[in-house]
Structure 1
Amino acid sequence: MATRELLSPAQRLQFTEIPDFITTRDIARYYTFSNDELKVIKERRRPHNRLGFAVQLSYLRFPGRVWNLGEIVPESVLFYIASQLKLDPTIITEYSQRDTTRREHLAEIQNNFGFHTFNTSIYKKLSKWLLPFAISSDKGMALVGALIDEMRLRQIIIPAISTVERLAWEVRNRAQKLVCFELTKSLTALQKTALDKLLVVEHDKKVTNLIWLRQPPGQANPRNFLKLVERLEFIRHLNLEEGCLKRIHQNRLLQFTKTGAKSTPAHLSRLDELRRYAILVAFLIEWSTSLVDYAIGMHDKMMGKLFNKSEHQHGDKFQRDGKAINEKVRLYAQVGKALIAARDESNDAYQAIESVLDWEKFISSVAEAEKLARPADFDYLELLDNRYSQLRRYTPKLLEAFEFKATRASLPVIKALEVIKQLNISGGRKVPESADTSFVKPRWLKHVIKGDTIDRHYYEMCALAELRSGLRSGDIWVAGSKQFQDFEDYLLADSAWQSMRSSHTIPVAVATDFTTYIEQRSLELSEQLSLVSSLMAEKKLVDVRIENEMLIITPLTNAVPKEVDEFSRKVHRLLPRIKLTDLLVEVDSWTQFTKHFTHLHSGEQVSDKVVLLSALLADGINLGLTRMADATVGMSFERFSFAGVGKD
């Protein structure tokens, strides 16, 4: 039936035919006979029967089916088989004259070498064997390929490819129903009704709720954050069982999720009920996780913007006052020189000051200096309070909608967030004196603790800043998140591990008992060494020989066609040429990482970023400043030094 076809005609040939360009390595792998096999083959009296018998045995090995009457054997394969029997390969034409002999030989091969004919019993066994694989993937090529490989391994003669396809199709269909059942078995009638409504445009809306839920998150701002949380709470209100996803293989879950993310509501409506609900459940639960990640990511970006703007404002303000500060410094330098000279000459200090400027002007200049002066530990945190209202546009919803958990070291931050959450609910403005402040770093302390009270604004901003840092470091995680989840969630639960150990179902492809494992590997090694030794003795090991008591292995030829090199050069010529420093400057415009490179003594930032980035590049590739200067147009070692990026 056409509906049960999984492969194209070209794909079927891949499984049933010997490749036209089969490698010598594969020929040796599939068509080298052991001494016992050669003994059975040579029991045929006539040369062409020996050769035909050997070809039949070879076809049952690979591709795993019966050699058809009149089928032409690839020349390279035929010559290799004939060389082992020391026969002329052209005599194979004589073997095709009598079909009875072929059938007799086939029966004898089955009896002597353990090949089995495909039947109903084998069909059921393979169906049971393939089911776990089909639960993880529904790709036709993968399913049929797994069946073919298993039949070759079990020495089952592969039937018509249509039979194999039908078996794979039926198992895939059964696996899909099992997966759908696992995803939907806990759904109530109300939940099914709610899922169906997602695909229908309601009278007061322009699009279906499914389309609304799938809208992209947008830029990081409070408005988009609140929209994200609204969609997240809509999904949470459906009360879908999140645990059902853990019972589904990740590959199958990914497929269902992609279908739910891309399919139109009309297409989903046409699917059968079981599959439609399964797709929606998988997509909605996975999408809710993504929404959590998007929302926390937005918070991180908005906090970063908040600090960056305050820092820039702080820098701009200092730069605007720079001229006036410089004038005052120069003035007081002159006053200082006058005072030093007056002391050395035993003159009056007041007259020395008045020799520089009038006393009244001196008094006013001191007042002006007080206005221009910054605290000894001044930074941009003092400007954050002006942006507190921006945080309040979304942070109450952040604390309300998400559950934060932490390691023991970060528990004070969680307690502080809970205090702020309770203040949001009650409408209180004053932080309780008993509130935990152990998370407040010294830099924040003077802003948070003011006398005997705790500043509400700075307490909240400090807690949110520490939340951001904790999320980045992994010390704090978010319930329902994938990107910001607890590290322990990545690991196998101890109960599950103990269950696997006791039931001997550890999902690895080797024996988990060391003694059994080492015995199996030793046996395999001995078998392979024996095979290699026999092939070496008969000079049949491909690309390997012994000369002067030395093992010589022919180097592998380049598998990449020469045309690819020319194609690569053409593609390379299409790419725009750009200097590495220009690329780094562009990256710096996104990240602002060069602001952290300050002069060792003065603390000032480097004014010429190109010079700084050239120096970093020189150090990163071990080129050195001198050689980088020699290799760069317009650059010199002196420029590096003047820019403050020399040896210091």
Structure 2
Amino acid sequence: MLKLHDFCNRALLRDIGIDPDIAAGIHPERLRRLCQEGARLTAQHVRTLQATRRRATLAATVLETIVTLTDDAVLMFDRLLGQMFRREQNSADTALKRDRRNINGKIRLLARLGDALLTAKVSGGDIGAAVEAVVGWDDLGREVDEARKLIRPDAVDPVTVAATNYPVLRQVGPLFIASFTFGAVPACHTLARAVAIMRDLHLGRLKKLPPDTPVAFIRQAWRRAIGPGIPDRRVYEFCVLVELRDRLRAGDMWVEGSRRYRAVEQQLIPSPVFATMRAAGPLPIPAPDTASAWLDERRTRLARRLAEVERKAETDALEDVQLSLGKLRISPLKAVTPDEADSALAPLYAHLPAIRITDLLAEVDRWTGFSQCFTHLQSGRVADEPRAILTAVLADATNLGHKRMAEACDLVTQRQLSWLASWHLREETYGRALARLVNAQHTAPLAALFGSGTSSSSDGQNFLLDRRAQATGAVNPHKGAEPAVSFYSHVSDRYAPFHSTVISASASEAAQVLDGLLHHGADLHIEEHHVDGGGVSDHVFALCHLLGFRFAPRIPNIAARRLHLFNGIEPGPDIAPLVAGRIDEALIAAHWDDVLRLGTSIRTGVVSASIMLERLGSYPRANGLALALREIGRVERTLFTLDWIEQPEQRRRATRELNKGEAENALKRAIFFHRIGRIRDHALQAQTHRASALNLVAGAIVLWNTTYLQAARMHLASLGRSVPPDLLQHLSPLGWQHINLTGDYLWTDPDAPSSALRPLRQMHAVEGPAKP
């Protein structure tokens, strides 16, 4: 449930009276550092600060806390409504399972009765006698009464949901509306007025709903269920809260003082600044300055690619593809791994030395110095004992926690681990450490055989929540029935995990695709990115193209995805049935400036791609920017689909890269095994630390394996048993059977030289490779 004390805390901080504009002239990075310090300092430490610094720290912390509590309150309000709908759906499913025997009985009776009536009609028999023969009129009446009781609404019934959840809605809804100031675009003025009426009812200014209460914002399907006129107050308040949630998601309404739920206009580069950037040129995105130039180039390209695919379809020259009169069938990919690969690669893993996870991290740290990236927030100094930092990282990565890690390790205490986590382990330090491992992995000689270094993939991995943290999660019915969160991770084609973020298990993965490509900190030059079906949307196609990435997803049931062509391009008979419509060129041209401003805002980091994609995906159909971006995405998706049909290597490459990410998820599942792999942290920051640490440890294992597999390769070559280079591309550095991930976490070789590798294991009988 929404935490009511969050409203109280926010009100107390707001009553201090600090003007938010006092921070307007401070550099955002400096302000962020002050806020981070203020969140960690105790009252005793604050008193020791110089007066000016103390006031600045306190003011920055108060302002940041108000913003954070505002965002948290809106997010929890969103989740509360989601839980209500989920409970209603679960209740309906439970009733369906409970009554399935009776329902089946009524269906069987209907089938027998129908057969008897149809037979009587065809033969000219007595209809009444037919009914009597099957069930009898008295029994039929009882059966009808029982069947009527089994009727359930086809969709969510707002009247039922409002009645069932009114005690909670009555406690939270009016308080939520009274605690914030909302803004709205003109199209939402009726909803804004409804929100004002709810506020007046809560404050006692109104006793009941006025005669002119607006109802136009209520969904048409709900209006039919509610009936004409002004609905019951409970139902009306429920409809207001649900529509307010949806409009806050889309950005049509916003919360004053929020960071995440600001007006869309406030999140983009200011128009005068963008105009200046555009005049100075060029913009930091690879898109032409005018819509006509873009449209001409894409029209020419689309016409050419369509003609090439049609020519191959006519001559049956498409590999593993059948395309005829609109019927598209793509055969499943054949295995490309040679039969001799397993036997040729097995000796490499067989020679890897057995090692503890602690010693593996220490060795990788000696190679890269990644522990030095975890600097102190205030002083910027590195920790005196690198192994203590690694222990804190390992406590998060294995899901063991500080208390139990301190019991399993004789190096640090629980208090020391908590202090290190507070002052040294932060999102930016995790990012710098991971970037150092990624750079080392991409320069490893063997890694060059895994991929070009210019491709990547991303995927979400569900982690169930412990009972005490379940209120912060969501249920994804496609992935289980328990609350969970998802770690959405990006992996390069050289197996380096270079970004990770925590999202709701029910959130769209498509919104997270671009954040990892734009904000990873490593020396990567990603050109092509792959996702599975969950990461696909026309908006992602559009933004990836505008920002210079080739988006190459593996789309489930791609034959059902319709194509879109420009006016004047006429498809042949094989393609024509696949075409759904025409591209709205006028819409793209009308909003091209907005599209460029959006792309520039994302590229320069003014706003994150995930926030904008979530907003765009929730926009009402009337929003021009969202519709224009969808049209651009349709162009790019059509071009991609033609490539997918014609180029089998494109299909193989997408599958190969996505398989790498899925195999890396298996490694992460093996690392994150404590507490049965369930997360018990409530706070998003703590969950983010788990995800970042898990990514970091997985990256260290990948680098260690790659390094030692190269050493094993050279060793076998010296024995005259070289592994053919064409087989090495099928080697994966994700094995972990030789790594001790469990037991006591001891550090056994702190003084080993940084450049020396451990002796390889000498095997008389070759074992198979450790498989993820």
Determine which structure has greater relative contact order: mean sequence separation of CA pairs < 8 Å that are 6+ residues apart, divided by chain length: 2
Alignment TM class, shorter chain as reference: 0.3 to 0.5
Query: Normalized against structure 2, the TM-score is what?
Result: 0.38
Q: Larger Rg: 1 or 2?
A: 1
Greater share of helix:
1
